Structure 1
Amino acid sequence: MNYYIGVDVGTTSTKAVLYDEKATVLKQFSKGYSLYRDVSGMAEQDPKAIITAVEEVIRQAANSTDLTTGQVLAVSFSSANQSVIMLDKDFQPLSRVITWADTRAQEVANELKNSPTGQHIYAKTGTPIHPMSPLTKIMWLNKTHPESIAQTAYFADIKSYLFYHFFNTFKVDISIASCTGMMNVNTCDWDEEALSLAKVSRSQLPEIVNGTTQEIGLVPSVQKKIGLPVNTPFVYGAFDGALSNLGVGAIKQNTVAITIGTSAGVRVVTDHPVIDPQQRLFCYAVDKGLWVVGGPLNNGGDVYQWAVEHLVDASAVKNENVDAFTLANHVIEGVPAGAHGLLFHPFLGGERAPLWNANARGSFFGLSQIHTRADMLRSVMEGICMNIATVFQAVRDLVGEPASVTATGGFARAEVWRQMLADVLNCPVNIPNSFESGCLGAITMAMKSLGLIDNYEIITKFIGSVSSYQPHQQNVKIYQNYLPLFQQVEGLLTPAYSTIAKLQQQSIH
């Protein structure tokens, strides 16, 4: 038997999935690590902890193979994007990994976003001006950490740092480069104007390569730790959101992929760059002739988890002898669409698309004496779906009417979520029964890298069975009345977000 290993380097853990040649999942392995939030806005990782986790899960996957009769054809990578690590001249870390979730560059981002330069840079790079962007992170570091910047010889993301550790070569795949805010979408090369803003030279950045690029020849110390043959091809792959699209078969312009995990994302694949004149969406390269357009949302399952923790009666959970989420989903099914006229804006963690406002805050609107905790629970779930719908509408405006939505993530395990999403979007929703879309997308890139496939169409054969949900028209009508109000209230509250954010910060200190 021959194998593939898909590795997904995430925000709080790294996962390795072992596949056979037909992309059947054989085993999965995972190793967690800390996300440091020492000060307000910080979200950092220890790069060495990530290296250790990646080595460990690959070793576990390798140990589960029988290499006497077969081989690992390739190891391919999915990773979170928009991370920054400062490295010295010997490629040793001068900082922790500053992740996509770090918002300390908010002030710098606001200043740039509201300037003609910011709008021009967005039009050239397709990366919204936001504190998540490595461009604004490096601008912020220039302003706040000049001593560290003076010692910095190179800027890496977690994947280019990882590949340097494994192979002593400094390269970045085109999808990760495209997410930095410093790569020109038309030339697929570093943009001189963006580099000038960040005060970075191209010699400080990794070489941009296609995601199907391979590295062979593991450094001896790593080879010893992971136990794979030294000539095993390692494929760069892409960032997790792009690979989620590939991994669910959403590879045509008429299929939108939606993920709702801790956070959420709405994405569609196109064969050319599409820039949003209103700056609501990103446009990132995935592979040659393949682009992904869409929006990431900060607020997904984590907001629902917050609601379940605070709104579900602990004694009821004990009496019913079920977990709190199962009980919450059951309670929500008993509340009609619209939650008796209650709206919830789910911006507990600020928001990226469509607002791009780190100061955004959550709120209930329409709360009255008739409302119960059950109504509030349903409105939280509806608020998450309506927020996704606003990004979905922006995608539809830009690339046309989709035929269907393919949705994945932890939410997809609950029937009430699946149906609600179809109703709010007024679009059929397909749920693949395989949930490991990022790693599946990664190994499909490996197949292309090895010359075993010409395009990604084959992935539809790997996905397996799919559950489909049609919109219920009576609920669609209700949500079509609520959605404009959801957006109107959001617009009215936007000017107040920065004030409440400042007051909250003062109350913490």
Structure 2
Amino acid sequence: MRRCASAIGASIMTKYLIGMDIGTTNVKSVLFAEDGTKIAECGKEYPLYLIKSGWAEQNPEDWWQAAVETISCVIRDSGVEKSQIAGIGVSSQAPTLIPIDQGGNVLRNGLIWMDRRSQPETDFLEREIGSAKVKSITGNRIDPYYLSSKILWFKRNEPELYKKTYKILQINGFINYKLTGAVTTDIAHASLMGVYDVRRNQWSEELAELIGYDTELFPQVYQNDSIIGTVCESAAKLTGLSTSTAVVCGTVDGSAATLEAGAVDVGDAVEMTGTSTVLNICTDEWRDPGLLFEMYHGLKDILMLCGANSTTGACLKWYRDNLYHKESCEAREGESSFDAMNRLAAKSKPGSNKLIFLPYMAGERSPIWDSYARGAFFGLSLNTGKEDMIRAILEGSAFGLRHNIDEAKKIGAPIRELRSVGGGSKSDIWLKIKASVLNMPIVVPDISTGAPFGDAIICGTGLGIYQNPGKFAKEAAKIKKIIEPDTKWNERYNELYEIYLSLYQNTKRDFCQLAEIE
């Protein structure tokens, strides 16, 4: 296993921090001054390999190359001396299966959170162990989303590669390994792997034995803000970073985005819409999450009750890539395709001309947990226009968010305030639809990098820059605007929401039968 010498001095002159988020579609690196001022930002996209229905992979080297390029970019564009960059914190989409051998070589493409090929293994684990047992240890259910079933699929279907596996990393753990040579994972990622005992704060030997693998496969678990090393020489040459720059363990993208939004108190809630939509509600105790799930916040001693819709932004991107035409959508000079689509959606009336969209285009996580569910337009007619289809996608994703919030209310989770971050928060029409579907105001913070600012706060906490990171995050997340619900829209959406819920229940069996057809 490659090792890079790391030494953290007793005192580091702190001036700048890099927050990096590895998303499903792109890497974003942002350089911040320690007072929270954004200095430079850079992003780079990479491919998503949808090999067959329900399969979703990415190449870890694509993540690393994008990380190298974006770090180099923000250093170059900012003009900041590398010696002034005190630390870097990385968050990522989660969870992901990344097996490496003893030499640190990646053995296969990563199976990302969206991959649901391990449904047969999930069914096996449900029969042999049961979700009740798994929930009592991990806090969460059995599902292809988690790594417990993905690893079992890997062992069953690629046994030769499995035998060569030394450790299984998460995405930010892989980037951290490339930066420092240290093999680690953070507590937030560990809580989503399906084999971590959240009450004992250790890997569950019992579950690993029942499933059929060894906990030696998993790296040592660190707190999100733990310093795991400094940038090694090889990574420094590639990125332009200094070998004195510290690397903290990092966290899950949703945890970082929740912190960025200033949500740190019980009842604070954040919805983050990018490829998917994730709802995070701050709590102070592990509970039975019902049809939702739980994980750690970016700061110590804070937990989150979470809901996740898998393909909200991805559905909009699908429409853009397959059905959008610049001319027919009347795109204006210099206007992005998404801006043109938002403008078109605003032309359609609430309810999209009685068109309802199920946003399950890669199966779904909470609250239905169904690998076989698929997207559907219901109510198409000869009067349906492109503006109706686009708006229906926005409304369908808002219904999915409401479904998760309704489940949170059922188990008594308080929602004091809902904030919106991520790419979806840049769409005024989407925000208005969400506020009206939920019948509650949506608060949009002024800073919305997606997750990197949260990463920088976690990094600065580990370095001792922020003595009260929760207070700092709240003060930094100044309110940009508050989107109020429209009462008339809400009345229409209440009617359509009931149909939205019944549509899935009435087609659930058909989706399953469709999946069985080769």
TM-score, normalised with respect to structure 2: 0.89
> Following the alignment from structure 1 to structure 2, what is the Cα–Cα distance between the partners of residues 253 and 65?
37
> Following the alignment from structure 1 to structure 2, what is the Cα–Cα distance between the partners of residues 163 and 127?
26
Q: Which moved more, 1:336-345 or 1:18-27?
A: 336-345
Counterpart of 2:300? 288
Counterpart of 1:202? 215
Q: Which moved more, 1:174-183 or 1:347-356?
A: 347-356
> Following the alignment from structure 1 to structure 2, what is the Cα–Cα distance between the partners of residues 162 and 323?
31
What letter matches 1:464 in structure 2?
K
The verdict on how the C-alpha distance between 1:202 and 1:374 changes in structure 2, with shifts beyond 3 A counting, is: closer
> Following the alignment from structure 2 to structure 1, what is the Cα–Cα distance between the partners of residues 275 and 80?
37
The verdict on how the C-alpha distance between 1:298 and 1:69 changes in structure 2, with shifts beyond 3 A counting, is: closer
- Whether the 8 Å contact between 1:83 and 1:100 is mirrored in structure 2 is yes
**Equivalent position to 1:173, from 186, 197, 220:** 186
Q: Which moved more, 1:122-131 or 1:242-251?
A: 122-131
Counterpart of 1:271? 284
- Whether the 8 Å contact between 1:135 and 1:194 is mirrored in structure 2 is no
Q: Which moved more, 1:65-74 or 1:300-309?
A: 65-74
The verdict on how the C-alpha distance between 1:143 and 1:489 changes in structure 2, with shifts beyond 3 A counting, is: same
> Following the alignment from structure 2 to structure 1, what is the Cα–Cα distance between the partners of residues 354 and 440?
23
RMSD after superposition: 2.5
Counterpart of 1:449? 462
Counterpart of 1:245? 258
The verdict on how the C-alpha distance between 1:396 and 1:212 changes in structure 2, with shifts beyond 3 A counting, is: same
Counterpart of 1:235? 248
Q: Which moved more, 1:26-35 or 1:264-273?
A: 26-35
What letter matches 1:457 in structure 2?
K
The verdict on how the C-alpha distance between 1:83 and 1:69 changes in structure 2, with shifts beyond 3 A counting, is: closer
- Whether the 8 Å contact between 2:182 and 2:229 is mirrored in structure 1 is no
> Following the alignment from structure 1 to structure 2, what is the Cα–Cα distance between the partners of residues 32 and 409?
16
Dislocated runs of 4+, deviation >6 Å: none
**Equivalent position to 2:61, from 48, 60, 79:** 48
What letter matches 1:304 in structure 2?
L
Counterpart of 1:224? 237
The verdict on how the C-alpha distance between 1:190 and 1:339 changes in structure 2, with shifts beyond 3 A counting, is: same
The verdict on how the C-alpha distance between 1:314 and 1:140 changes in structure 2, with shifts beyond 3 A counting, is: same
- Count of residue pairs the alignment pairs up: 502
- Whether the 8 Å contact between 2:267 and 2:417 is mirrored in structure 1 is yes
> Following the alignment from structure 2 to structure 1, what is the Cα–Cα distance between the partners of residues 340 and 450?
28
The verdict on how the C-alpha distance between 1:463 and 1:368 changes in structure 2, with shifts beyond 3 A counting, is: same
The verdict on how the C-alpha distance between 1:22 and 1:488 changes in structure 2, with shifts beyond 3 A counting, is: same
Unpaired runs of 5+ residues, structure 2, are 1-13
The verdict on how the C-alpha distance between 1:462 and 1:172 changes in structure 2, with shifts beyond 3 A counting, is: same
Q: CA deviation at 1:20?
A: 1.0
TM-score, normalised with respect to structure 1: 0.91
> Following the alignment from structure 1 to structure 2, what is the Cα–Cα distance between the partners of residues 69 and 281?
43
> Following the alignment from structure 1 to structure 2, what is the Cα–Cα distance between the partners of residues 105 and 123?
22
> Following the alignment from structure 1 to structure 2, what is the Cα–Cα distance between the partners of residues 232 and 305?
37
**Equivalent position to 2:35, from 8, 13, 22:** 22
Deviations 1:213-263 (A, max 9, x none): 003343322233233332221111211011111111122222221112121
Counterpart of 1:495? 509
Q: CA deviation at 1:166?
A: 2.9
> Following the alignment from structure 1 to structure 2, what is the Cα–Cα distance between the partners of residues 56 and 320?
31
Show the 5 A alignment for 1:322-471.
324-368=337-381, 371-451=384-464, 452-471=466-485
Q: Secondary structure at the match of 1:129?
A: coil
**Equivalent position to 2:310, from 298, 304, 312:** 298
Q: Secondary structure at the match of 1:431?
A: strand
Q: Which moved more, 1:401-410 or 1:364-373?
A: 364-373
Q: CA deviation at 1:332?
A: 3.0
Q: Which moved more, 1:236-245 or 1:127-136?
A: 127-136
> Following the alignment from structure 1 to structure 2, what is the Cα–Cα distance between the partners of residues 325 and 65?
29
Deviations 1:52-80 (A, max 9, x none): 33233223333455666972121111112
Counterpart of 2:498? 484
Unpaired runs of 5+ residues, structure 1, are none
Counterpart of 1:7? 20
> Following the alignment from structure 2 to structure 1, what is the Cα–Cα distance between the partners of residues 103 and 230?
20
What letter matches 1:55 in structure 2?
V
- Whether the 8 Å contact between 2:82 and 2:241 is mirrored in structure 1 is no
Q: Secondary structure at the match of 2:249?
A: strand
> Following the alignment from structure 2 to structure 1, what is the Cα–Cα distance between the partners of residues 50 and 390?
28
The verdict on how the C-alpha distance between 1:288 and 1:465 changes in structure 2, with shifts beyond 3 A counting, is: closer
> How much identity, in percent, do the aligned residues show?
24
Q: Secondary structure at the match of 2:231?
A: coil
> Following the alignment from structure 2 to structure 1, what is the Cα–Cα distance between the partners of residues 376 and 104?
45
- Whether the 8 Å contact between 1:16 and 1:29 is mirrored in structure 2 is yes
- Whether the 8 Å contact between 1:127 and 1:133 is mirrored in structure 2 is no
Q: CA deviation at 1:406?
A: 0.5
> Following the alignment from structure 2 to structure 1, what is the Cα–Cα distance between the partners of residues 371 and 115?
10
Does 2:80 correspond to 1:73? Answer: no
Show the 5 A alignment for 1:299-314.
299-307=311-319
